[in-house]
A and B are shown apart, each in its own frame.
Chain A
Amino acid sequence: MKEHHLILRVVTKTLVGTIILFAFYVQFHGDYSPGGGFQAGVIMAVAFILYGIVFGLHEVQRVLPAWVVHKLVALGVLVYAGTGIWNMFLGYEFLHYGSFTPDHMSHGQHSGILYVEAGVGITVTGVMVAIYYAFAGRTPRLGNDDW
């Protein structure tokens, strides 16, 4: 595969780290400012997708293999549901975050939303990257030179 332009490659390499950092910002400030797990997950996935577009599917899959992506999709759901089950073990309803700090329920609500949003973030990252892999991984019926 032909390598992309030098500037594209250099800019991508600098941007990827920043995008991931921004994803974490959106993730953990979701309860104070616009954002949250879904948006953060998409931004996180963008970092990998951009890397894949510029350097090729093979390179990005060395960083994040397809099987890891599939596990991430499942892991996030389990983190979300696991938070709820933890609440149940504490003697309250499913996803009753207040149970984390029964003396001061609103504190528990804050921490609970962070846990479930982490789950959402993991799954959305996984799903977005998996969709990209699925499309990019298809072998074209016509090669680029066959037109």
Chain B
Amino acid sequence: MATASETPHIALTLRDHLPILQVLIPLCVAPLIVLLGGRRMAWGLAFLASALSLVVSFLLMMQVMDGSFISYHLGGWAPPVGIEYRIDAANAFVLFLISLTATLVVPFALRSVADEIPARSHTLFYACFTLVLTGLLGVVATGDAFNVFVFLEISSLSTYVLVSQGLYRDKRALSAAYDYLIMGTIGATFFVIGIGFLYMTTGTLNMADMAERLVGQGDNRTVQAAFAFIVVGMGLKVAIYPLHLWLPAAYNYAPSAVTVFLAATSTKAAVYVLLRFMFSVFQPEFVFDTNLLLWILAPFALLAMFAASLIAVFQTNFKRMLAYSSIAQIGYMLLGISLFSVTGLSATMVHLFNHGITKAALFMAVGALVLRSGNTFYDRIEGMGRVMPLTGAAVVLGGLSLIGVPGTAGFISKWVLVQAAFEADLWWIALLIVASSLLAVIYMWRVIEVLYLHTPHPEAIHKEAPLSMVIPMWIAAGACVWFGIDTSLTMGAANTAAIGLMGGTDGMALTPTVGGLLGNGH
């Protein structure tokens, strides 16, 4: 850091600050909500924070769509010494998904939360929600390995609180939150142990620097142990098939608005971190990395696609069914990773986004049904599609996207995934993808049959959900169709991200291509 007297300092503009603003806005709003108090204000501030994040993430994504990256040095300390925020196509895309979902969930939450949580908890609820948003955005935006852990804890701890808020409807939310707490903490601990090992080997915490120093260290036992710890730790957060046990209960008992947000974002952010470590920090050429893909990730992904879908078929509760379907869908994302090609990774990235919006639409419909029927057991929501036509239609659209019917977003991701399977000459995997989609037809048809082909339950309130719920739900459902037809944004971003990730260490070069103006003069 030179003194300013030698070279005049050029003041940074708002545009230069975008990477930090992405995290800083919700980070500042969360304590502000607590400090000011007031329920209405809390909601307004939370909405403001998520809407501003959405604008910031969109601007960032437009800047990095060409495959370049932006590097922001916190405190003016250049990496690898200082903490660096690094935005490239892969994380800008995930940032966009997270802030988009948050912007849809907050208006939805207004009525849903008022119905499910007593008024005195609302202020802290929105503060926690904003903290989860901060944490998830931070995990994705940062280029510093330890920073990932810190933000992971910020988002996880507030998520446990949010899940436990379901206790006013069902006390089992407490044990669900506790399970998630234990599993999540084990995951985070494993992750930080892995970071510790990497720090031991490389002496740095900056991911790009770490990647450079790990070149040729594939035989190092410490590096191998670090890899194992990081994969298992993040695997718990991602809910990779045998590590998924916390997920169904957490999704099922959390308040509806929280489930929407979690299902659409938190596992997705974890998938991103897994990708970042597997492909950017560790060399994809490392023997243990490819072995993991072939012998662990691929079989478990296939197992998840079938086992979780099969369990979903036999559920009697709509919300719980969707939770199991999420585990199956995570299987598709992992399958894309394990195919280990640009097409496979594009499939993962695009499915991450498409599944996010699909599940957002479906879980919002669940929230609307909870508001009118009290719960979402099949015998309780019978015939509700007739009295709530808009909600019912959103379920149908979301369901079609979940199955992967042409013209919906889900079709695009499965199409790319099948393409990747054919590219790798694994035609039987392509067949399995189609076969598991048939299971999705079964479990979605069960819901649609219940919603439309029965007479409505007499104790339910026979009224359409309020507009504040229907509009966000339909934006999400509309997005399922929009991104199923116009794929330039999603596939473009996913492709650039996949090429960057497959570039391995080269994709993490230390010298920035754009944003070089940052850090000038000091």
Contacts and interface: CB of A to CB of B under 8 A. Distances in A.
Contact of B5 (A81, A88, A96, A103): A103
Interface in A74-113: 74-75, 77-78, 81-82, 84-85, 88, 91-98, 102-105
B32 A96 contact: no
Given A73-B31, A95-B75, 8 more contacts: A78-B28, A81-B24, A91-B9, A93-B73, A94-B17, A94-B20, A95-B74, A98-B1
Contacts of A85: 24, 28
A82 B30 CA distance: 13
Given A102-B4, A102-B9, A84 B24 contact: yes
Contacts of B5: 103
B3 interface: yes
B: contact size bracket: 20 to 34
A102 B8 CA distance: 10
Contact of B12 (A75, A78, A84, A93): A93
Contacts of A102: 4, 9
A94 B142 CA distance: 14
Nearest to A81: B28
Contacts of B20: 88, 93-94
A78 B74 contact: no
Contacts of A9: none
Contacts of A95: 74-75
B203 interface: no
17 contacts: A71-B34, A73-B31, A74-B30, A74-B32, A77-B27, A78-B28, A85-B24, A85-B28, A88-B20, A92-B76, A92-B522, A93-B17, A94-B17, A94-B74, A96-B522, A97-B75, A103-B3
B3 A78 contact: no
Nearest to A106: B3
A74 B522 CA distance: 32
B129 to A, nearest CB: 15
B75 A74 contact: no
Interface in B112-131: 127
Interface of A: 70-71, 73-75, 77-78, 81-82, 84-85, 88, 91-98, 102-105
A78 B1 contact: no
Nearest to B8: A102
Interface string B23-57: 01001101111110000000000000000000000
Contacts of A75: 31, 35
B72 interface: yes
B209 to A, nearest CB: 19
Contacts of B519: 93
A83 B176 CA distance: 39
Those 9 A-B pairs whose CB atoms lie nearest each other, nearest first: A91-B11, A74-B31, A96-B76, A74-B34, A95-B75, A77-B31, A74-B35, A94-B20, A102-B4
B35 A91 contact: no
B3 A70 contact: no
Given A91-B12, A92-B76, A94-B17, A78 B32 contact: yes
Contact of B34 (A73, A82, A92, A96): A73
